[in-house]
Amino acid sequence: MHDLINKELEKSSILIVDDDPGIRLLFEKAMKTAGFECKTTDSGCKALDVMSHTYFDVVVSDIDMPGMSGIELSGKIFEKYSSDVIIMTGKVKSYHYHEMINIGASDFVEKPFSIQELILRVNRVLRERRLKKEARNSHEELKQAYVDSIHRLVMASEFKDEDTGDHIVRIGEYSRLMARKLGLPDKEIDNIYYAAPMHDVGKIGIPDKIMLKPGNLTPEEFEIIKTHTTIGAKLLSRSKSGILKMAKDIALCHHEKYDGNGYPNQVSKEDIPVSCKIVAIADTFDALTSKRPYKDPYPPEMALDIIRNEKGRHFDPGITEIFMEYFSDFLQIRETIGTFEEVNLENFMLSARDKELFKA
């Protein structure tokens, strides 16, 4: 095991930055003898120039240099690159120490020090890099398994619909695109991408004879359909996961309307979470352009007109504007994930159920 780790470390590349030519030569020879790839430079500016076209795992930099100091160099490295930095200094002054900690330096060594000590410090930093990388990979695998399990649960709730698998993938993609165009934080964008496909998980509690009915729903049947929102919210409640907390909101509120005439709680405007407003448009667009038991797919242009006409009533005005502005991007997602039937606008009519839904 130790031999494997050492072989991995030996593949690493080191950049030495020091204005003293004797130190540069000594360190370069020592690093190459230890099995590392190594380059040197005599200033911070030159170091940044070298790093612009060559990757280094670790940068070992003197702190006191003419022009750009090691502290300043480290800050610029952390802004642009993923390299770790080890600071060398003649004496660790208190203000230097705080600056090194604040910028995130991986380690520092105080001169004079032995070559062996420097090599040990470099090895330690490289081992930490490897462990962090393994932890990230494990976290990503766990997250993917977690999301895959959720998607399977969602598909189980609607398994009779052959398009459900593609539908939930598209809802995630539409929602992520909209969140990006709205300028939401990266964490929120990720959460909505994973949470949006769970919007209809509550349909697992709706009888098949209602879910698959080809004609108009009776008022009593529509009241039963509405309960998929509260069923879904209950299924997703009491979780500490940020994704599932957002999924609960989406399941509950994705049929609420901007003007307060939606369901189940008739909330309106800013009382509706932004994630739910996004999924409301995404789900409507996908439903309109897909085949359902009660209708054929609608032409994309008609779906766009329906959503445009519902601006300020069903849908949030600002989010509707984003959808309209980037409609071609949404259409590309619709065309590339799952089946997509081209439909001619001539002689095409809304289904009876959608005429009632959209008051067309």
Domain span holding position 80: 2-134
**Is there a single domain that holds both residue 126 and residue 228?**
no
Q: Which residues sit opposite 154 in a β-bridge? A: none
Among residues 134, 150, 172, the one where a domain terminates is 134
Residue 101 included in any domain? yes
Residue 145 included in any domain? no
**Is there a single domain that holds both residue 168 and residue 112?**
no
90 vs 337, more confident: 337
The two tokens of residue 199 are: 């919007």
The overall pTM is greater than 0.75:
no
**Is there a single domain that holds both residue 230 and residue 113?**
no
How many of the other CB atoms lie within 10 Å of CB of 135? 10
**Is there a single domain that holds both residue 195 and residue 115?**
no
Residue 247 included in any domain? yes
Residue 146 included in any domain? no
Residue 241 included in any domain? yes
Element (H, E) at 151: helix 115-157
Q: Give me the amino acid identity at 191.
A: N
The answer, yes or no, to whether residue 359 has pLDDT greater than 60, is: no
| CATH code: domain of residue 74 | 3.40.50.2300
Q: Which residues sit opposite 14 in a β-bridge? A: 38, 58
**Is there a single domain that holds both residue 186 and residue 279?**
yes
**Is there a single domain that holds both residue 15 and residue 108?**
yes
User: For the segment 85-111, what is each residue's pLDDT rounded down to a tens digit?
Assistant: 998 877 655 445 566 666 667 787 887
Element (H, E) at 219: helix 219-226
Long-range contacts of 41-44 (CB under 8 A, 24+ apart): 41/15, 41/16, 41/17, 42/17, 42/18, 43/17, 43/19, 43/67, 43/68, 44/17, 44/68, 44/69, 44/70, 44/72, 44/73, 44/76
User: For the segment 179-231, what is each residue's pLDDT rounded down to a tens digit?
Assistant: 999 999 999 999 999 999 999 988 888 888 888 887 788 999 999 999 999 99
User: pLDDT tier at 3 (50, 70, 90 boundaries)?
Assistant: very low
| CATH code: domain of residue 292 | 1.10.3210.10
**Is there a single domain that holds both residue 80 and residue 164?**
no
Residue 331 included in any domain? yes
- Given a contact cutoff of 8 angstroms between Cβ atoms, the answer to whether 178 and 324 are in contact is no
**Is there a single domain that holds both residue 332 and residue 263?**
yes
The answer, yes or no, to whether residue 5 has pLDDT greater than 60, is: no
User: For the segment 269-304, what is each residue's pLDDT rounded down to a tens digit?
Assistant: 999 999 999 999 999 999 999 887 777 788 898 899
Among residues 78, 102, 134, the one where a domain terminates is 134
Among residues 76, 99, 134, the one where a domain terminates is 134
* Tally of domains within the chain: 2
**Is there a single domain that holds both residue 14 and residue 74?**
yes
* Beta-carbon-side half-sphere exposure of residue 251 (alpha carbons within 13 Å): 27
**Is there a single domain that holds both residue 128 and residue 163?**
no
Residue 6 included in any domain? yes
Burial of 17-56, coded b for 16+ CB within 10 Å and e otherwise, reads bbeeeeebeebbebbeebebebbbbbbbeebbebbeeeeb
**Is there a single domain that holds both residue 171 and residue 129?**
no
**Is there a single domain that holds both residue 92 and residue 183?**
no
User: For the segment 19-39, what is each residue's pLDDT rounded down to a tens digit?
Assistant: 999 999 999 999 999 989 999
- Given a contact cutoff of 8 angstroms between Cβ atoms, the answer to whether 58 and 83 are in contact is yes
Residue 140 included in any domain? no
How would you classify residue 203: left for phi > 0, otherwise alpha for psi between -120 and 50, otherwise beta?
alpha
